[in-house]
Each structure stands twice: as C-alpha cells, then as structure tokens.
Homo-oligomer: A and B are copies of this chain.
Amino acid sequence: MPKSIEKIAVLTSGGDSPGMNAAVRAVVRTCAFHNVECYGVYQGYEGLIEGDFKKMDARSVKGIINKGGTILKSARSKEFRTKEGRQKAYDNLSEEGIDGLVVIGGDGSFTGALIFNQEFGFPVMGIPGTIDNDIFGTSHTLGFDTALNTVVDAIDKIRDTASSHNRLFFIEVMGRDVGHIALNVGIAGGAEEILIPEEDLGLDRLVESLNKSRKSGKSSSIVVVAEGDKIGKNIFELKDYVDENMEGYDVRVSVLGHMQRGGAPSCFDRVLASRMGVKAVEAMLNGQSNYMVGLLDNKMELTPLDNAIKGKTKINLELLRVSDIMST
C-alpha cells in the first residue's frame, strides 16, 4: 500500500499555454479541499533545483483562472537533465516534506518527471499543457482550444483585408511538427488550402489547386501553413514559388507568432484545467503515480506517462476531407 501523500508540489514547464494558471489553481484548491498542503514551484524544474517554491492556500490562486501564461513561470532546465540536478531537486523536496509532484507541461516535461520517478520513486502526475495538442492520451491539451480561437480571430481579420484587395495570404500557425492547429483553423477560417506536415500536397498541386479556386470565382484566398510543414523550406520561399508560378494574385505572408500562446483561456480550457487539476491530485492521493490525466470521450482518464510520451497523436482524416469539401 502506498504511503499516503501529505504535501504536493506543482510546477509548469516547457512552453506556456492558456489554462496553465487555471490548472495550478485547480491543483491548489483540490489540495485545500482534501486538507493536503500545496507548494508552487517557480521556473519549472529549475525551481525544484534551487528550492524556489512557496506554500499556496486556496486564496493565493484567486483571480488567476482567466489569466494567460503561468504565474509559476516556466523555464527549460539544463541542470535537471543531469543526475546531480535531479538529486538536488529530490533533496529540496524531501527537506520540505513534499511527497508528490504535479507537472503541467508537454512531453519533454513528462520525460523529466518520469526519469525523476524512476530514480527516486517520487510520485509524479502529469497534466498536458501545450497549445500544440501533440500529446497522446488526451483529445485536447490545455490551451489548444484557446489557441484555435486566437488564430481564427486573426485569420478573420486577415480575410477582411485579403478580400478587399483580391489577395492570396499564406498564414503560418504554430503546432511544432503536427498539424492539429492548422487543420482546425484552416476549416474554421475558410482556408482554400491547409498545409500540414502529415500530408505532403506538393508544390505543383498547390498551385494547381489555387488556380482552380481562382477560376471558380474566388477573389481572395487564404492558405494556412503549419510551422512544421516542409512543402517549402519556409513560408517565404513558398510565397516566392507561388508568386512566380501563378498569375492574378497579390501574394502575402503572415507569421502569427507568439500571440498564439497567450490570452485569457476559453471556457473549454478553463473547465478542462479545473477537471484535470482535480483528477491529478485525487489520483495521487489515491496512491497512483506516473500517469498523465487526459480527456477521452469527454471523461477524465489516466494514461501511463510512458505511453503519453511515446504514443503518436494522429490527424483526424475526416477533417482533411471536410476541408477539401468546404473549399469547393
């Protein structure tokens, strides 16, 4: 029977995403609800190594559910990749009497947590926080839904000016090496084409498709490009190729950049964060470790961290087809 947990620490790690604060709040309040002490760790794993954490009660997370970013800050820690770094982290936690760790972050952060558990038997639990939705074991990562709305709002604005000038816009969106963001915002933004790493359309077919779209009477076009797509070496080279190989459009590029990571989380992400925080803490109090909480079929489920890291998320092929039909 596992030792009962009495003090839990929570940290945010890797790229930040909207909803991380809501998840921190949920972890803190669930601890308070169960009369377990909770500590916030600053700067991700770096804060573990430097002992930079402080006790948080239910009131200390007031007013953060709707804030983007993370009040605990995030950072990449080289030192935590070393055995010595992790030993320091373990010593700091032990000294404070902390006996459980909730990590909010992406697969890199989970890998750190898993190694830490394997070395010290320290109970860890993961909450998937990234806008990229590239983690196995959950239909939605924290921040994905918010980022989709942020990007679609930007595309709507670009569409206003594109259609006023008969322009073709290439819009680069985030997503690392997966196309989840691109595919969803492409459909929602009414894009004529969506370029994602999972499917290589090819330059010739792109130009052919845009020409066909133009002939069908469309006076402006949006092409959404996932940052991980390789059809051009980069989006500016892609623009140049199209500029040279098709007529009638004034071609422009917009790289949406880091604004995609910020902003007040959507209702969906706030509710998801709250559910995940509750589940992560209660699973840990229940003696479980080395799991990631996730949303599957609208229910909270646990996936072994190992699987969450190694598993592959897949593009929904139905969405690709919907996109094709919609750009009729």
A interface vs B, CB < 8 Å?
12, 15-16, 18, 20, 25-26, 29-30, 32-33, 58-59, 62-63, 65-70, 73-75, 139, 145, 148-152, 154, 156-166, 169, 184-185, 187-190, 216-219, 252-264, 266-268, 270-271, 274-275, 278, 297-300, 316, 318-319, 321-322, 325-326, 328
Contacts and interface: CB of A to CB of B under 8 A. Distances in A.
Copies in the complex: 4
A146 B148 CA distance: 13
5 contacts: A29-B325, A58-B328, A158-B257, A188-B267, A299-B318
A5 B45 CA distance: 47
B217 A59 contact: yes
A274 B163 contact: no
Contact of A161 (B258, B271, B322): B258
Contacts of A63: 163
Contacts of A159: 69, 262
Contacts of A257: 158, 253-256
Contacts of A268: 145, 148-149, 268
Given A156-B263, A188-B271, 18 more contacts: A16-B164, A20-B164, A29-B328, A32-B328, A33-B328, A59-B217, A63-B163, A65-B188, A69-B160, A69-B161, A74-B164, A150-B157, A156-B264, A157-B263, A158-B259, A159-B262, A188-B270, A278-B322
B267 A326 contact: no
Contacts of A25: 326
A169 B258 CA distance: 9
